[in-house]
């Protein structure tokens, strides 16, 4: 059995997953950098190739399983092409949503599930027509959290206190067809990360900010501890992963009025800190769950 793991860099998580696969004698694994891959259509046939000086190794269609651990447009095209070709196992959560907007699409997908608590949220597609009057007409309440690019790793997350502030940020970052998420602000400086693999709860950590004014998934510095959630929080995390059909989910939550609320769902979660705090071997569970679900021999 030949497995290709498609990623964009060497990381702790990828190294751990490769190491866990090495315990299976009948499996060989190769890493492929997504930025080195390209799709070609020749005589009506789809091919996927890698940028390699060795002609014999350029064609990457000889693998039985493709595990995609990277996001971005190129990864989505690669996944779509592999699925069109058929007769291969393609394991990927990155192509779940076509638009690639992490925050808004996850929220919209989950809004139909009444077992998932969502914070009050406004989606703004202002473009170049942003104005104070349009913002006022949207009925936005303050303070709130403004979220921008899904790939910014929380760098485009701001706590805003009035219309002038939100107007300033939107004017600075006008992009065609970009949608901003304005989320209800919940004070407290604490959020939770729950890991779910194949609709099974794996464990949880608690992030407690050292800064009392820190907010929703943006932690300038935090105290991290293992956390033992109640059944309500666990069931909600599993519901989120199931609703989005995500195999490996890192689900961020926040508490409001004694109830857990979803902040976001990460489909390629990092787990180095999680393993250190909880002593849970996430990579081992991930690999064994893949083998179980997809029948990898």
Predicted pLDDT of residue 213: 59
Q: What domains are there in the chain, each with its CATH number?
A: 2-91 (3.40.50.20), 120-184 (3.30.1490.20), 190-281 (3.30.470.20)
Cα dist. 252→26, 97, 206, 262 in Å? 36, 18, 10, 6
| pLDDT score of 296 | 82
* Predicted local confidence at residue 111, as pLDDT: 74
Does position 6 have pLDDT exceeding 80, yes or no?
Answer: yes
Alpha-carbon 201 to chain mean position: 17
Q: Residue 16: CA atoms inside 13 Å, Cβ hemisphere, count?
A: 17
Dump pLDDT digits (tens) for 140-189: 889 998 887 555 555 678 888 998 888 888 777 655 556 778 889 998 88
For the cut 80, the answer to whether the pLDDT of residue 36 exceeds it is: yes
Residue 278, pLDDT score:
97
Provide the whole-model pTM: 0.87
Looking at residue 158, its pLDDT comes to 83
Residue 95 has pLDDT above 50, yes or no: no
What share of the chain has pLDDT > 90, as a percent?
39
> What mean pLDDT comes out for the span 25-37?
90
The pLDDT of residue 30 is above 80 = yes
> Is pLDDT at 218 greater than 60 in this prediction?
no
Q: Is the pLDDT of residue 259 over 70?
A: yes
């Amino acid at each position: 059995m030949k497995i290709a793991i498609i990623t964009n860099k060497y990381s702790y998580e990828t190294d751990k997953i490769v190491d866990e696969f090495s315990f299976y004698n009948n499996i060989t694994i190769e890493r492929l950098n997504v930025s080195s891959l390209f799709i070609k259509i020749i005589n009506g046939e789809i091919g996927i190739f890698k940028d390699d000086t060795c002609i014999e190794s350029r064609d990457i269609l000889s693998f039985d399983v493709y595990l995609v651990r990277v996001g971005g447009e190129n990864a989505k095209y690669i996944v779509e092409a592999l699925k069109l070709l058929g007769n291969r196992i393609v394991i990927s959560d990155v192509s779940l949503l076509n638009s690639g907007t992490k925050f808004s699409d996850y929220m919209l997908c989950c809004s139909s599930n009444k077992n998932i608590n969502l914070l009050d949220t406004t989606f703004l597609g202002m473009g170049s027509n942003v104005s104070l009057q349009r913002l006022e007409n949207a009925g936005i309440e303050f303070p709130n959290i403004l979220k921008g690019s899904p790939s910014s790793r929380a760098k485009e997350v701001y706590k805003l206190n009035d219309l002038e502030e939100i107007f300033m940020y939107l004017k600075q970052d006008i992009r065609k067809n970009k949608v901003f998420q304005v989320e209800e602000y919940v004070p407290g400086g604490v959020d939770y990360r729950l890991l779910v693999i194949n609709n099974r709860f794996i464990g949880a950590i608690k992030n407690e900010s050292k800064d009392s004014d820190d907010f929703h998934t943006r932690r300038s510095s935090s105290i991290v501890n293992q956390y033992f959630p109640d059944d309500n929080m666990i069931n909600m995390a599993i519901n989120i992963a199931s609703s989005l059909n995500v195999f490996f989910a890192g689900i961020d939550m926040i508490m409001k009025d004694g109830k857990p609320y979803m902040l976001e769902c990460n489909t390629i979660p990092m787990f180095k800190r999680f393993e250190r705090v909880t002593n849970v071997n996430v990579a081992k569970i991930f690999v064994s769950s893949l083998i179980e679900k997809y029948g990898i021999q």
